[in-house]
Amino acid sequence: MVKVDLSGAAGFFTAAGPDYELAAIAHKTLADKSGLGNDFTGWVELPQRVKDTELERIVAAAEKIRARSRALVVIGIGGSYLGARGAIELLRPMPGRDDPRVFFVGNTLSSDAVCDTIDALGDMDFDVNVISKSGTTLEPAVAFRIFRELLQKKYGKDADGHIFATTDAHKGVLNGLARQHGWESFVVPDDVGGRFSVLSAVGLLPMAVAGIDVRRVTDAAISEMKALDLRSPENPAWQYAAARQLLYGKGYSIELLACYEPSFRFMAEWWKQLYGESEGKDGKGIFPASVEFNADLHSMGQYIQSGPRTLMESVVRFTASRRELVFPSEDGNADGLNYLAGRKLSDISLVAADAVREAHVTGGVPNMVIEVPRRDEEGFAALVCFFEMACAISGYMSRVNPFNQPGVEEYKKNMFRMLGKPE
């Protein structure tokens, strides 16, 4: 399990502290499946269900793709791509020699971006994983038609064998097409919304193609979900959910998720969707934003230190580095850096993080630390389960339905009207 350190936020709490009684009620509501959106709480059991049903088929499909293709084009948007991208960038930021490249399309209508991806594919052998629960989302549907045509040009009658569809088990356009053309298909379960689906085939197939051990991820997630069922203020998901709700009540309406690992960038994007779409409704919700330290200390640091005091900061820290680098000594010390010689870069980074934390807390930014043992399959699973559980508890604490996203439909209605989509 991850550990949450609230010591940098405690000075900003009210005397009563985080409301663990309300967190307990929220957790019970979730576990009993008696709250708003209860038909979308299947993500709690998802890792075990996937292990019992599709996991081996996912691994087999990934092995097939890895053996024959140099690239996988993943088509999806929102919850149908951010988790996979977050995982791959976190765990495989530099693809190995035998790893196919994974391209993410269908999250934009930019012709430049689509053409750039087509150029980058060149004459590489590739497969396509089209991911859409509804099957009707315009951005991925447009990309799919384009990349399907590319497959048909390249592989002729064998093109269908290069398409893997991840979609609803029973209904929708994509489901219908997959059946008609015999594409290998995987399921986005009925009771799991897009932003909670990364531990299904939605995330696991692209991750496995990228070389991530998805059996390890799934096993770790099964244990994590069990551990996070702990009904106690010791539960890190309660701590984080209750602390951020307390701070929100005191006017800290923006949460910055920060990490000192550049490879965390798309995990932060995944987190932003998870929390933004789950909590931002009914005129309420903490605005989720993200920063990448140290880089953003030199762009956003000024605002964080001395801008409006509406920011709270949550920092994801990986306890151990995957690789160590000892800072070298230099004869003459011309750059004046010998005071660091012999120290591990990871230790220097930790000291820098402590310095930042102290400065931000002193400057009036409540700070929460989310500590993860390692940047590996288990660490990823721990983070996903923790953030999902805390998100649901936090959403129920603020009395919204954390599992719907009615606001997303508004732009779609306008777009379809303006594009002249037939009724």
The set of catalytic residues is 277, 298, 412
Cβ atoms of 391 and 279 closer than 8 Å: yes
Q: Rounded CA gap, 273 and 271, in Å? A: 5
Using CB under 6 A, list all residues that contact ligand PA5.
77-80, 132-134, 137, 140, 193-195, 277, 405
Taking the least distance from each CB to ligand PA5, the nearer of 61 and 82 is: 82
Q: How far is CA 300 from CA 265, 267, 269, 292, 303, in A?
A: 15, 19, 17, 9, 5
- How near is the Cβ of 179 to ligand PA5 at its closest, in Å? 18
- How near is the Cβ of 220 to ligand PA5 at its closest, in Å? 23
- How near is the Cβ of 186 to ligand PA5 at its closest, in Å? 13
Taking the least distance from each CB to ligand PA5, the nearer of 75 and 208 is: 75
Q: Rounded CA gap, 379 and 336, in Å? A: 37
- How near is the Cβ of 387 to ligand PA5 at its closest, in Å? 14
- How near is the Cβ of 411 to ligand PA5 at its closest, in Å? 11
Cβ atoms of 291 and 304 closer than 8 Å: yes
- How near is the Cβ of 404 to ligand PA5 at its closest, in Å? 9
How do strand 3-5 and strand 367-372 relate by DSSP bridges? antiparallel
Helices 377-397 and 20-32: angle between axes, nearest 10 degrees = 100
Q: Could you tell me which residues come within 8 angstroms of residue 180 by beta carbon, excluding any fewer than 6 positions away?
A: none
What the block records as the tokens of 50 is 């996937």
Q: How far is CA 370 from CA 187, 236, 237, 240, 347, in A?
A: 32, 9, 10, 9, 18
Taking the least distance from each CB to ligand PA5, the nearer of 85 and 195 is: 195
Taking the least distance from each CB to ligand PA5, the nearer of 78 and 100 is: 78
Cβ atoms of 48 and 414 closer than 8 Å: no
Task: Report the run of H or E that residue 73 belongs to, with start and end.
Answer: strand 71-75
Task: Report the run of H or E that residue 263 belongs to, with start and end.
Answer: none
* Secondary structure percentages of the chain, helix, strand, coil, to 5: 55, 15, 30
Q: Which residue is nearest to ligand PA5 (CB)?
A: 194
Q: Rounded CA gap, 129 and 184, in Å? A: 10
N residues, the chain: 423
Taking the least distance from each CB to ligand PA5, the nearer of 138 and 340 is: 138
- How near is the Cβ of 408 to ligand PA5 at its closest, in Å? 6
Taking the least distance from each CB to ligand PA5, the nearer of 134 and 346 is: 134
Taking the least distance from each CB to ligand PA5, the nearer of 19 and 277 is: 277
